[in-house]
Structures are given as structure tokens and as C-alpha cells.
């Protein structure tokens, strides 16, 4: 019980700290009450944002929350999955891809992954892997994530 309390307190402190850093680091135009309604957040005030596209082949091991875990010959890779997707011209949620059996645990997939690196003005670098597209080699389903335009133009590497 004590361990759970300490863990939750640490998580709350981390979230509060990140919120404070984002609020202090955002320019005045990023304030939510600004007349343009421009939001801040970690992608807004950066010196550099790069996105490199790679392809991963493997088997779906798990899909929890907004993450996909793909097992490859060299281990498991956990990739963040966006909320909205297009499949055959229809928009679906990440949850519905699994609920409607478009994707299933155990299916062989080819995943297009964006490795996004952002550098803050302070020099701090953050890297994240985001799922851009997934082709289920078992069922033939092709799903594409609905991403911000800046990530649609990522450079590609194999």
C-alpha cells in the first residue's frame, strides 16, 4: 500500500513538473486564452523537430491503451499508437481496430514507425516512436494513422 502511494505521488509530481515546464517554456501566443486559440504543449516551442520513418516486421504481442507491442526477431518494440485511423476510407479509433477484428494479437504485421526527436531551446532532447501505419499481413487490413501534417512528411529509411 505504501509503495502504491509513493508511486502515485511520484507520478503526480512528474506530471505537475512537466506541466510547469511546458507552461513556462511556451511563448505568450501559446497561452490557451490567446485570441487565436493556439495551444502549447511539448511540440510547440522547439528549436528542432525531426521525424524519421522506419519499417518493422513482426507479430502483434500486445495492444494496451494507446500502444502496440510488436515482437521481432531481436525482441519486442513498444510503439505509441495515435487515437484516430483510416481503414478503407473510414475513420476508426485505435480501440475499434481491435474490437472489430481488423487487428488481432498474434497477427503478423508490417508497421511503419516514426521516430520523432524534438530539441527544446534549452538543449533537452526527447525521442518518441509513433505508429504511422500498420499492414496486417494475416488479414490484409491496411490502417493509416491520422497524424499532424508535420509528421506526414517524414524522411524514410529502411
Domains belonging to the chain, first-starting first, are 1-43 (no CATH), 48-156 (2.40.50.140)
Please say whether the beta carbons of 38 and 30 come within 8 A.
yes
Give the cell for residue 154. 517524414
123, pLDDT greater than 90: no
55, pLDDT greater than 60: yes
pTM of the model: 0.64
Using CA atoms, how far residue 8 sits from 3, 17, 65, 66, in Å, is 9, 14, 19, 20
In degrees and rounded to multiples of 5, residue 85 shows phi and psi of: -140, 155
Which among 84, 38, 54, 57 is positioned nearest to 157, based on CA atoms? Answer: 54
76, pLDDT greater than 90: yes
Q: Rounded to the nearest 10 degrees, how much is the dihedral formed by the CA atoms of 116, 122, 123, 128?
A: -20
Query: How much of the chain exceeds pLDDT 70, in percent?
Result: 65
* pLDDT-derived band at 62, boundaries 50, 70, 90: very high
137, pLDDT greater than 90: yes
Amino acid at each position: 500500500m505504501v509503495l502504491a502511494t509513493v508511486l502515485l505521488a511520484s507520478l503526480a509530481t512528474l506530471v505537475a513538473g512537466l506541466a510547469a515546464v511546458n507552461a513556462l517554456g511556451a511563448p505568450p501566443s501559446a497561452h490557451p486564452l490567446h485570441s487565436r486559440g493556439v495551444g502549447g504543449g511539448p511540440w510547440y516551442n522547439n528549436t528542432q523537430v525531426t521525424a524519421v520513418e522506419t519499417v518493422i516486421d513482426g507479430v502483434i504481442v500486445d495492444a494496451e491503451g494507446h500502444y502496440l507491442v510488436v515482437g521481432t526477431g531481436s525482441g519486442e518494440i513498444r510503439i505509441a499508437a495515435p487515437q484516430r485511423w483510416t481503414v478503407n476510407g473510414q475513420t476508426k479509433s485505435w480501440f475499434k481496430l481491435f474490437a472489430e477484428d481488423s487487428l488481432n494479437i498474434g497477427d503478423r504485421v508490417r508497421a511503419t514507425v516514426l521516430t520523432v526527436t524534438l530539441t527544446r531551446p534549452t538543449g533537452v532532447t526527447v525521442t518518441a516512436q509513433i505508429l504511422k501505419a500498420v499492414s496486417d499481413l494475416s488479414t490484409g487490413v491496411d490502417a493509416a494513422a491520422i497524424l499532424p501534417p508535420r509528421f506526414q512528411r517524414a524522411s524514410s529509411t529502411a
